[in-house]
A and B are shown apart, each in its own frame.
Chain A
Amino acid sequence: MTKVDKSGVPAGLWSRCEGCGHMLYEKEVADAHFVCPECDHHRRLDARARVRQLADPDSFEEFATDLTPTDPLHFKDRITYKDRLKREQSRTGEVEAVIVGRAFIRGRAVILGVMNPSFIMASMGAVVGEKITRSIERAIEENLPLVLVTASGGARMQEGMISLMQMAKTSAALARLDDSGGLYIVVATDPTTAGVAASFASLGDVIIAEPHAMIGFAGPRVIANTINAELPDEFQTAEFMLEHGFVDRIVHRSDLRREVARIIDYCGK
C-alpha cells in the first residue's frame, strides 16, 4: 500500500503507478486527476479529492455531518471495532466512509454523495446507510438530481445485520425517489462490490463507471474457489459490466463533470 495522507496524495514527489509500474511525478499525476498518463490507471480517490474534481469550486455544502458510528454489537475481532473506528478516523480525518451534500456540477444543482475507499474500504454500516438515505430524501425534498459516487467493499461486518439492513433501507428510499420522478446517477468507481453493488450502486437511472473499476457482487477469490478454475480476463471490471449490460457508459475521470452534466440536461431537471 502506498502511504496516503489526508488529501489522498501519496507522500513523496515520485510514485510508482499501480497499473503499469511506471515512475510518475506526483504533481503531474495530481494535475491529471490522479490518472496515470502512461496507462490510464485511475487511482482510488478519497472523498474530498473527488468532490474537488467533480463539483464546482467551493460549491459543496455538506450535510448530515454530525452522524457518528457507534458499536451496537460490541464487536471485537483481533482489535475492537471501537479502536478500529478511532484509528480510521484519525488516519483519514473523516468521521465515516461517506460524505453527502448539496453541490453544483457545471452550474447544475445536485445532491452529491461520495464514498471514501480509504475509510475501512468504504464499507457500509449504519451511518453510511443513513447518510445515503438522507441524501436520497434530500433529493426528493429539493427536487434535485442525485449523484452518488460509489466505492465500497460491501456491508460492514463489524455491524453485523445492522449493516445488511442498510441495503434494504437505501433501496427502499430509492423506490420513493423513483416514485417522485427524481433522477439518480451512479458513478461507480473502484471498487464497487458486494452489499453496495447489490443495493444502491445498481439502481441508478443512469450508471456511469470509471475505466477498469472493479464492479461485482461476490469476491473473486470466493468465485475462483467455487468453480475451481481461473477467472476470465477483465472479470468484474467496468468493461465486463458494460459488456454484460449492467453499466451504461464508461467515462474517463477527466470527462466525468461534462458527462454527468450532459445526462442531467437530458433528463430535464
Chain B
Amino acid sequence: MNSKPNIAASTSMGVGGLLEFEKPLARIQNDIDEMQREQGETDRDVATDVRQQKTRYKATLKRLYASLTPWETVLVARHPKRPLSTDYLRMIFRDFAELHGDRLFGDDPAMITGFARLRGHKVMFIGHNKGKDVKERIKCNFGCAHPEGYRKALQKMKLAEKYGVPVVCLIDTQGAYPGVGAEERGIGYAIATNLMEMSRLRTPVVCVVIGEGGSGGALGIAVGDRVAMFQNSFYSVISPEGCAAILWKSAEQRKHAAEALRLTASDLLKFNIISEIVPEPLGGAHRDPEAAAANLEKFLNTSLNSLKRMTLTNLIRRRQEKIRHFGNFFDDPASVKQPAKATARAASRASRLGRTLTRTRTRNVTA
C-alpha cells in the first residue's frame, strides 16, 4: 500500500526549518535574535539574558521531544534536513565501492548498493536513497524504488553471501514506487523474492530504519538478524495519510491514523517487531547528524561483532525462528504451538555442510 510520492514534509515546515509542533522554539529564537540586535544597537550587555534564553530553548526542546506524538514523530522522520543513507555512508563508512548492476533491467538510483568498510568490518551496504536536492530527488523518485532496485539489492546480497560479507541495510522510503513500469516489471514478485531470500541468506544481515519505513517497500530490504529503528523514525503498514483516506474517508484524519497504527519505534519494540532502538540526539537526528551517525555506527559495530561470532547454522536458525514468531498475536485455544520442524531441518542441513561464517566461501547450496 503506497502513498503518492510527494514532498509532504515541506508543507508542515514553518520558519527556520522548524516543524509545526516546534513553534514555542521559534518564539524563544525570536527573543534571542531580538536581544542580539538590541545589543548591536544600544551596547547593552545581553549575554546573561541570551544565555538564559538558550537554556530555556534547550529545556523546551527537551520537553517537546520527550513526548512526541506519533504524528509528530512522522514529521521528524520526514524532516527535509534529516540525514539520509548517503549521509551515513559518508560519515561512518569508508572506502565505498558502489556496485550498480541488477543484471536484468537497469540501475535504480532509489537504491544504493556496494561494498564499504565500517570500523573493522567489510560490509555490503544497501540503502534507500531519497536524494539531497530537488534534482536528485526527482531522479531517484524520492527514494521510492522500482523492481530493479530490489533486484539490485538482492543481487548484491548474494554476492556478499558468497564471500561471507555481512549485509547492512538502511531503510528510508515512503514505499515502493507505485507506477505502471513497476507493475510491468513485477514489483510484487521482486519484494516477495527478497523476503524469501533474505530469510535464508547465509551471512549476517543488520537492518536499521533511519527515517521512513513505508510498508512493503521498506520490508523489501528489512528482513535480517537484527532489525532496529532510529528513535524518531517510523515504520508502518501504510502511510498515515493513506490509512486515513481509506478508513476515515478523509486524509485530514492522518493524526488519528498515525496514533492508531502504532508506528513508532517504542511501540514496535513492544510488539517484538524490532530488536533495538538507536537513540537520536536531542531534537532529532537533523539537529546533530554527526551524533546520530556515531550512535548508528556503534549499533552496527556491536551487532556485527556479535553476529560474526555465531556459527552460520545458528545464525540462520535464529533468524528463521525470530521471523516465525513475528506478530504472533492471536488466540489459539488448542495452544498447540507447532515446533518449527522445518527450521530444525534447515539447521541440520546447514550443520551437515558444517560451515562457519568465517570459512564460508561458497554460494548457497540447496541440498
Contact = CB atoms under 8 A, between A and B. Distances in A.
Interface of A: 66-70, 72-73, 75-78, 126-127, 129-130, 133-134, 137, 140-141, 154-155, 157, 159-169, 171-180, 194-195, 197-203, 216-219, 222-223, 225-227, 231-232, 235-236, 240, 244-246
A29 B341 CA distance: 44
Contact of B223 (A140, A154, A155, A172): A172
27 contacts: A67-B330, A73-B261, A77-B247, A77-B257, A77-B260, A140-B342, A141-B342, A155-B216, A157-B238, A157-B243, A162-B271, A162-B329, A171-B192, A179-B200, A194-B1, A195-B215, A197-B192, A199-B191, A199-B195, A202-B188, A216-B183, A216-B188, A218-B176, A223-B179, A226-B5, A226-B177, A226-B179
Given A197-B188, A198-B192, A246-B189, A166 B261 contact: no
B51 to A, nearest CB: 44
Interface string B215-236: 1100110010000000000011
B106 interface: no
Contact of B196 (A76, A172, A219, A223): A172
B196 to A, nearest CB: 4
| Chain A facing B: main interface SS | helix
B195 A171 contact: yes
The 4 A-B pairs with the shortest beta carbon distances in the complex, nearest first, are: A218-B178, A172-B199, A162-B327, A171-B195
Given A168-B326, A179-B342, A222-B4, 14 more contacts: A67-B331, A75-B260, A77-B256, A140-B342, A140-B345, A160-B236, A164-B236, A168-B199, A172-B196, A198-B191, A202-B193, A216-B188, A217-B183, A219-B1
Interface stretch (B57-65, B85-93, B280-288, B332-340): B332-340
A160 B1 contact: no
A71 to B, nearest CB: 9
A179 B183 contact: no
A133 B338 CA distance: 10
Contacts of B367: 179
Nearest to B192: A202
A139 B330 CA distance: 22
B246 A69 contact: no
Contacts of B242: 222
Contacts of B223: 168, 172
Contact of B247 (A157, A160, A178, A226): A157
B263 interface: yes
A199 B215 CA distance: 12
A137 B345 CA distance: 11
B273 A130 contact: no
A78 B343 CA distance: 41
Residue among B4, B257, B342 with the most chain A CB within 10 A?
B342
Contacts of A174: 196
Contacts, number: 236
A101 to B, nearest CB: 15
B180 A223 contact: yes
B261 A160 contact: yes
Nearest to B350: A179
A236 B188 CA distance: 11
Nearest to A176: B342
B251 interface: no
Interface string B133-157: 0000000000000000000000000
B237 A160 contact: yes
Given A126-B329, A180-B342, A226-B4, A161 B271 contact: yes
A143 to B, nearest CB: 12
Contacts of B173: none
A235 B324 contact: no
Residue among A78, A137, A218 with the most chain B CB within 10 A?
A218
A199 B366 CA distance: 21
Residue among A133, A163, A198, A225 with the most chain B CB within 10 A?
A198
B160 to A, nearest CB: 18
Contact of A72 (B4, B191, B263, B329): B329
B332 A67 contact: yes
A161 B237 contact: yes
A134 B324 CA distance: 10
Given A155-B1, A246-B189, A167 B195 contact: yes
